């Protein structure tokens, strides 16, 4: 996105602070225009924060914090603990988190403790998608899930919960508010400063394009923007808020050389969220970014990454300092997290401290962790066919039955199908069932229901295969290959008349199917 000297461009704006740049308007227009399609076609990366491994780890930490709070209460109240997810995006993380939450509450005998998970985003189309999604309705019916329109950059002082029709304002919550923010703060407006020899300068950006009269809501608009930066000396008392200026002064005093991204809008949002619970806030966030001050100023200019939308590294050190200055605490990993930084921040900790939250975080993120598993998967996925059956199955189990990972492993499992023992066949069928239960459909082209069903049929499980072929029909329409395979399952179950009807319907769409015997594959 850099402007070159040879470029012939139309300037959209000149020397604007980063947080006021036209980039953010283009970003908002992109998400408002494409809605759930941003994740459906994988244009916006989300798998690393929307998988069962991370959901399980975060659910353990959140439950640890809630146990700490509950143990410190004089008496149990009927008000629910609120868990607010900012920028819930595709909805996959929320679905997985809620599944784990329900499971762990049952295991620990905590089903009687009321918890309300709130999915939020600034895009109304995303909320409509979630509220209509059949996989989320059981959680809504159980009173476990609600929805809210929340704009991190333009956070209001009130929060309306759409299902329960509850309006939250300052001091509304008698229990601490938990906030989850995954891949959120990297896409929220930030400021950028350059520090050299004790002098603070703000980074100013000029944005240009090769396309005159560019429509900011047009497809791929961000790929057509070019940036150039300059600097202007400023006083450390840059913001109206003394707390933010104190953070800036700290960087000016301690750093020398390089740029620092500063998440002022995100910190203002947290200030308003903490006010809902009279200053009691637990933030659990996963993103790309920096936790230590030494790594902040390694870049001369902020590095913008474009992927449909765009993102910048998160200055988690600023979050840490903001919480500490307000008397809060933080929890972070004891090692460098290479692909995903996961950190916790607390305001108004329970009087007894947070032993449960700290223990849960330690077990989830120090040593074996979602970040480590993600890196391991990246190395393994090109070599699945070399693994033995038990090794493949162990990988799926370690992923906590990730539907995507099992789908990637299916070709390797199929190669071994003829040599599997009866016990191994049962184990694989059970793994498919558990992975499918973790699947949250957003309309992507990959038909996992079909792939899982075909494998189940090969395993001698026609009833289970039939159920998933029916899921495939419901999700992707009456494909003749699906209808044919469904008929094979019906024949195996002795339902000849139903099978014949399915074959006729398949043959009407694709007459050449009549010459085929056995299951049909489906690519894509």
pLDDT digits (tens, 9 = 90+) for 165-190: 999 999 999 999 999 999 999 999 99
Band the pLDDT of 362: cuts 50, 70, 90: very high
C-alpha torsion angle, residues 236, 240, 242, 247 (rounded to 10): -50
pLDDT for the residue 78: 84
Inter-residue long-range contacts of 208-213, CB under 8 Å, 24+ positions, other chains counted: 208/3, 208/7, 208/9, 208/10, 208/11, 208/12, 209/9, 209/10, 209/12, 210/7, 210/8, 210/9, 210/10, 211/10, 212/10
Contact at 8 Å (CB) between 14 and 205?
no
Residue range(s) in the chain whose domain bears CATH number 3.40.50.150: 36-187+268-367
What does the DSSP 8-state code read for residue 195?
Answer: E
**Which CATH number does the domain 36-187+268-367 belong to among 2.40.30.70, 3.30.70.1450, 3.40.50.150, 3.40.50.300?**
3.40.50.150
Inter-residue long-range contacts of 240-244, CB under 8 Å, 24+ positions, other chains counted: 241/268, 243/267, 243/322, 243/325, 243/326
pLDDT for the residue 522: 82
Q: Report helix, strand and coil shares of the chain as percent, to nearest 5.
A: 50, 20, 35
42-46: average pLDDT: 75
Residue range(s) in the chain whose domain bears CATH number 1.25.40.10: 387-515
Q: Is the pLDDT of residue 75 over 70?
A: no
Between 185 and 219, the more confident residue is 185
| Lowest-pLDDT range of 104-108, 120-124, 451-455, 520-524 | 520-524
Token pair recorded at residue 346: 């607390």
Percent residues over pLDDT 70 in the chain: 93
pLDDT for the residue 524: 44
Band the pLDDT of 523: cuts 50, 70, 90: low
271-275: average pLDDT: 97
Contact at 8 Å (CB) between 443 and 90?
no
Angle (nearest 5°) at CA 442 between 438 and 448: 55
Mean pLDDT over each residue of the chain, to the nearest integer: 91
Q: What is the C-alpha to C-alpha distance for residues 296 and 170, in angstroms, rounded to an integer?
A: 34
| Lowest-pLDDT range of 14-28, 63-77, 381-395 | 63-77
pLDDT for the residue 211: 78
H/E stretch holding 131 reads helix 124-132
pLDDT for the residue 298: 63
pLDDT for the residue 514: 55
pLDDT digits (tens, 9 = 90+) for 400-442: 999 999 999 999 999 999 999 999 999 999 999 999 999 999 9
pLDDT digits (tens, 9 = 90+) for 116-144: 999 999 999 999 999 999 999 999 999 99
Taking alpha carbons only, the member of 515, 517, 511 closest to residue 488 is 517
- Residue 513: HSE in the Cβ half-sphere, 13 Å Cα cutoff: 23
pTM: 0.93
pLDDT for the residue 210: 82
Superfamily of domain 387-515: Tetratricopeptide repeat domain (1.25.40.10)
pLDDT for the residue 5: 46
pLDDT for the residue 14: 94
pLDDT for the residue 513: 56
Percent residues over pLDDT 90 in the chain: 70
Contact at 8 Å (CB) between 272 and 157?
yes
Beta bridge partners of 2: 227
pLDDT for the residue 38: 86
Q: Is the pLDDT of residue 219 over 80?
A: no
Q: Is the pLDDT of residue 6 over 50?
A: no
Band the pLDDT of 62: cuts 50, 70, 90: very high
């Amino acid at each position: 996105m850099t402007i070159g000297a040879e470029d012939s461009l139309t300037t959209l704006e000149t020397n604007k602070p980063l947080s006021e740049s036209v980039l953010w308007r283009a970003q908002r227009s992109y998400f408002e225009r494409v809605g759930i399609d941003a994740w459906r076609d994988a244009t916006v990366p989300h798998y690393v924060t929307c998988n069962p491994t991370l959901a399980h780890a975060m659910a353990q930490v959140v439950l640890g914090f809630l146990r700490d709070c509950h143990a410190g209460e004089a008496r149990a109240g009927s008000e629910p603990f609120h868990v607010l997810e900012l920028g819930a995006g595709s909805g996959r993380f929320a679905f997985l988190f809620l599944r784990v939450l329900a499971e762990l509450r049952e295991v620990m005998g905590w089903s009687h403790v009321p918890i309300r998970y709130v999915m939020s985003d600034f895009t109304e189309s995303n909320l409509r998608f979630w509220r209509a999604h059949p996989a989320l309705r059981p959680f809504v019916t159980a009173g476990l899930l609600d929805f809210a329109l929340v704009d991190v950059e333009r956070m209001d002082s009130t929060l309306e919960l759409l299902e329960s029709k509850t309006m939250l304002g300052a001091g509304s919550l008698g229990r601490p508010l938990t906030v989850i923010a995954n891949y959120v703060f990297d896409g929220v407006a930030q400021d950028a400063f350059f520090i050299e020899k004790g002098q603070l300068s703000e980074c100013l950006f000029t944005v240009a394009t090769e396309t005159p009269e560019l429509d900011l809501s047009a497809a791929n608009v961000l790929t057509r923007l070019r940036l150039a930066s300059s600097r202007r000396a400023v006083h450390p008392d840059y913001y109206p808020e003394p707390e933010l200026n104190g953070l800036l002064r700290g960087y000016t005093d301690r750093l020398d050389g390089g740029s620092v991204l500063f998440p002022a809008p995100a910190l203002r949002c947290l200030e308003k969220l903490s006010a809902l619970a009279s200053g009691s806030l637990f933030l659990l966030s996963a993103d790309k970014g920096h936790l230590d001050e030494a790594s902040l100023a390694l870049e001369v200019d902020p590095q913008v990454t474009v992927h449909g939308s765009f993102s910048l590294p998160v200055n988690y050190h600023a979050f840490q300092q903001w919480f500490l200055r307000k008397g809060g605490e933080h929890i972070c990993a004891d090692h460098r997290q290479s692909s995903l930084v996961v950190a916790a921040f607390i305001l108004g900790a329970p009087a007894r401290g947070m032993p449960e939250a700290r223990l849960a975080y330690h077990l989830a993120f120090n040593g074996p962790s979602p970040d480590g598993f993600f890196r391991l998967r990246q190395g393994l996925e090109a070599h699945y066919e070399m693994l033995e059956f038990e090794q493949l199955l162990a990988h799926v189990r370690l992923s906590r039955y990730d539907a995507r990972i099992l789908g990637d492993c299916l070709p390797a499992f199929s190669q071994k199908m003829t040599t599997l023992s009866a016990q191994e066949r049962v184990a694989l069928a059970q793994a498919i069932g558990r992975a499918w239960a973790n699947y949250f459909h957003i309309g992507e082209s990959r038909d996992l229901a079909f792939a899982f069903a075909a494998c189940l049929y090969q395993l001698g499980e026609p009833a289970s295969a039939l159920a998933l072929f029916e899921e495939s029909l419901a999700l992707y329409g009456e494909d003749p290959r699906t209808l044919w395979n469904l008929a094979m399952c019906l024949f195996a179950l002795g339902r000849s008349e139903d099978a014949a009807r399915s074959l006729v319907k398949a043959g009407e769409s694709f007459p050449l199917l009549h010459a085929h015997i056995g299951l049909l594959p489906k690519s894509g």
